[in-house]
Chain A
Amino acid sequence: MKRRRIADRGVRVLFSVNAVLAAAVLLGILIFLLAYGIRAFIPAGAVDPEDPSTQPLTLGGFLFGASWNPDAYGQPEYGIVPLLLGSLITTVLALLIAIPMGIAGAVFIAERLRGGVRVAVKMAVELFAGFPSVVIGFFGLLVLGPALARVFNVPSGLNVLNASVLLALMSLPTIISVSDDALRVVPHSYREAAYALGASPWTTAIRVILPAARSGILAAVMLGFGRAVGETMAVLMVAGNAPIIPRSLFDPVRTITTTIAIELGESAFNSIHFFALFALGFILFLIALFTNLIAEALIRREKRSFTL
């Protein structure tokens, strides 16, 4: 009896410590990003009036500036608008491709496949979710890029379209797998009811099962969004990386994540440029935070309208 109580307490401590640790690490990263990022905006150390690269940034110039050019001769520019748009455009395009395909794939797996085939397909999908992004980048660089250049007759296949297609490929497995889980927990009685009214399996899936699984599918889409907006390596390899606001699908594009990856190594330690990259990281964090909050709110609203 006594031993059981000690074991019980031990397990509880173990779980609590781990939970606190996980939260603390996250909070630590946030504080670290904020502490470094903020130093791009406050004059620290020597400000040399002759050297524009030591001038602290203004928040307005950072958030609304239309040009990102830290290495400019003369006045360096740190406007995140092209990077922010780059991230959003590639992610949104990727999701436009991945959401319909992912949901359709999930419906097929959940509603039409049975037994061993189902298990095998699901396993393959989940395996693909863990595929190294650099390998997918290779595919984009060597296969998709040249193909796009030839098909659309453009000088380079390293552009918005290529990056979006790769991001779609990479968020597809997550969307399929999580949506499939959501579809599977829809009560069987809904299917029975629909079939008994003479509905075909596809009509049932579209008009009953999908609406009933809405909140789970929303969660799948948000996870897919997170995967796409945070992806760095594959995008770095195929996006062309010119920090401009793209005017077409065939323009190069630079995202927030790739900017950090490209420039962190070449920026002088503790320079304005260095701190500006941390500020970029903080922006990325805010995007993730807000999309999660929105998703959370949507899911909660769904749940309320579905339960009694």
Chain B
Amino acid sequence: MSPEGSVNSPAKLATKNLSVFYGSFQAVIDVGIEFPACAITAIIGPSGCGKSTLLRSLNRMNELIEGAKIRGEILLDGKNIYQLNVLELRKRVGMVFQRPNAFPLSVFDNIAYGPRVHGINRRQKLTEIVERSLKAVRLWDELKDRLDQNALGLTDEQRQRLCIARMLAVEPEVLLLDEPCSALDPIATLHIEDLLRQLKEKYTIVIVTHNMQQAARVSDFTGFMLLGKLIEFGTTSQIFTRPQHPETENYISGRFG
């Protein structure tokens, strides 16, 4: 798919009239958005606009917060995600967080964690998965001799790559990334962005970022959110060059946020 692909391309994941509440506070208001398959969609907006909440509701991670509930629909391949087992959903829709949250285990055990949880225990199979996942994030050459080392001893960038590899190891279909580069330096950020461009050939990627340059560099589609509402959605080039709404224009031209 070309970066100029139309918004009408087949949606892997979509929301319909989605509202998310934390107690009486409504963090996401009536959002309908379609995430096209094998493309990167960025969600941008100022802090507190509900973009992380939207992202976390896509694999039901928002439920970890007490009092969270949703109204509306979230569809994965056209099927309501609440009809799926939540563990199965999270296996298919993986997530990477703002801070690299590697487990205090060895590199190998970090990556093997997901497959083990899903019942793969044969050492040979796990070794294959670890190698494939580390190669996919281009960490294999750096770490192949240090698989037994505690993952907390890696650099920030290595750890964030490791977290992506750990997610890939359970063979998800959709990757959700919540500001994956905000704890990284600019060089590491570019490396991760390169990686995402490669990964989109196989995966549907949704990235939340407050870094507009990042959205412009890496994404094919962009949604702009403000105060819980999706203000505008379109191809990235359209959003950044010909925004339809004055609020979008104000935001991307740096007048607020």
Contact = CB atoms under 8 A, between A and B. Distances in A.
Contacts, number: 74
Interface string A209-251: 0011000000000000000000000000000000000000000
Contacts of B64: 191-192, 195
Given A193-B103, A207-B117, 4 more contacts: A189-B97, A196-B94, A199-B113, A207-B113
A177 B54 CA distance: 37
Interface in A276-308: 305-308
A282 B170 CA distance: 57
B114 A198 contact: yes
Nearest to B176: A196
A15 interface: no
Interface string A159-199: 00000000000000000000000000001011111111111
Given A196-B95, A197-B167, A305-B150, A207 B116 contact: yes
B104 interface: yes
Interface residues of A, number: 24
B135 to A, nearest CB: 19
A92 interface: no
Contact of B170 (A197, A212, A305): A197
B118 interface: yes
Contact of B90 (A115, A198, A208): A198
Contact of A193 (B59, B97, B153): B97
B152 A307 contact: yes
A198 B104 contact: no
A114 interface: yes
Closest 8 CB pairs of A and B: A198-B91, A189-B101, A196-B95, A197-B114, A198-B90, A193-B101, A199-B117, A198-B87
Contact of B104 (A192, A194, A203, A211): A211
B163 A193 contact: yes
B120 interface: no
B91 A192 contact: no
A267 B48 CA distance: 76
A41 B166 CA distance: 65
A200 interface: yes
A179 B29 CA distance: 41
B152 A196 contact: no
A117 to B, nearest CB: 13
Contacts of A196: 59, 61, 90, 94-95, 97, 167
Interface string B199-235: 0000000000000000000000000000000000000
B99 interface: yes
12 contacts: A189-B101, A196-B59, A197-B114, A198-B88, A198-B91, A199-B87, A203-B117, A207-B117, A208-B103, A211-B104, A212-B103, A306-B104
A197 B90 contact: yes
A198 B118 contact: yes
B113 A194 contact: yes
B105 interface: yes
A189 B99 CA distance: 8
Interface string B88-122: 11110011010101111100000001101110000
Contacts of B104: 190, 211-212, 306
